Amino acid sequence: MKIALLGYGKMGKIIEKIALSRKHEIVLTIDNENLHELTAENLQKADAVIEFTMPASVISNIEHCFNAGVPIVVGTTGWYDRLDEIKQKCAASDGSLLYATNFSVGVNIFFHINRLLAKVMNNYPYYDVQVEEIHHMQKLDAPSGTAITIAEGIIDNLSSKTDWVNVLTTDDSDDDKNVKSEELLIESMRIDSVPGTHTVIYDSEVDTIEFKHTAHNRNGFALGAVLAAEWIHGKKGFYTVDAMFDFKS
Ligand X SMILES: O=C(O)C1=N[C@H](C(=O)O)C[C@H](O)C1
Ligand Y SMILES: NC(=O)C1=CN([C@@H]2O[C@H](COP(=O)(O)OP(=O)(O)OC[C@H]3O[C@@H](n4cnc5c(N)ncnc54)[C@H](O)[C@@H]3O)[C@@H](O)[C@H]2O)C=CC1
Q: Which is nearer to ligand Y, 57 or 160 (CB)?
A: 57
Least distance from C-beta 105 to ligand Y, angstroms? 11
From 24, 64, 89, 135, the catalytic residue: 135
76-115 footprint of ligand X as x/- string (CB under 6 A): -x-----------------------xx-------------
Q: Which does 135 bind (CB under 5 to 8 A by kind): ligand X, ligand Y, none?
A: ligand X
Reduce the secondary structure of the chain to three states and give it as a string.
CEEEEECCCHHHHHHHHHHHHCCCEEEEEECHHHHHHCCHHHHCCCCEEEECCCHHHHHHHHHHHHHHCCCEEECCCCCHHHHHHHHHHHHHCCCEEEECCCCCHHHHHHHHHHHHHHHHHCCCCCCEEEEEEEECCCCCCCCCHHHHHHHHHHHCCCCCCCEEEEEEECCCCCCCCCCCCCEEEEEEEECCCCCCEEEEEEECCCCEEEEEEECCCCHHHHHHHHHHHHHHCCCCEEEEHHHHCCCCC
Q: Give me the residue whose beta carbon is nearest to ligand X.
A: 196
Q: Which of 196, 223, 224, 229 binds ligand X (CB under 6 A)?
A: 196
Q: Which does 137 bind (CB under 5 to 8 A by kind): ligand Y, ligand X, none?
A: none
Binding to ligand Y in span 69-98, by CB under 6 A: 75-78
Rounded CA separation 16/221 (Å): 12
Contact stretch for ligand X (CB under 6 A) within 42-50, 90-98, 139-147, 154-162: 139-147
Contact stretch for ligand X (CB under 6 A) within 39-47, 49-57, 142-150, 177-185: 142-150
219-248 footprint of ligand X as x/- string (CB under 6 A): --x---------------------------
Rounded CA separation 20/13 (Å): 11
Q: Which of 54, 105, 209, 243 binds ligand Y (CB under 6 A)?
A: 54
Active-site residue list: 135, 139
Binding positions for (S)-2,3,4,5-tetrahydrodipicolinate: 136, 145-146
Interface contacts to ligand Y, rule CB under 6 A: 6-12, 30-32, 35, 52-54, 57, 61, 75-78, 100-103, 221
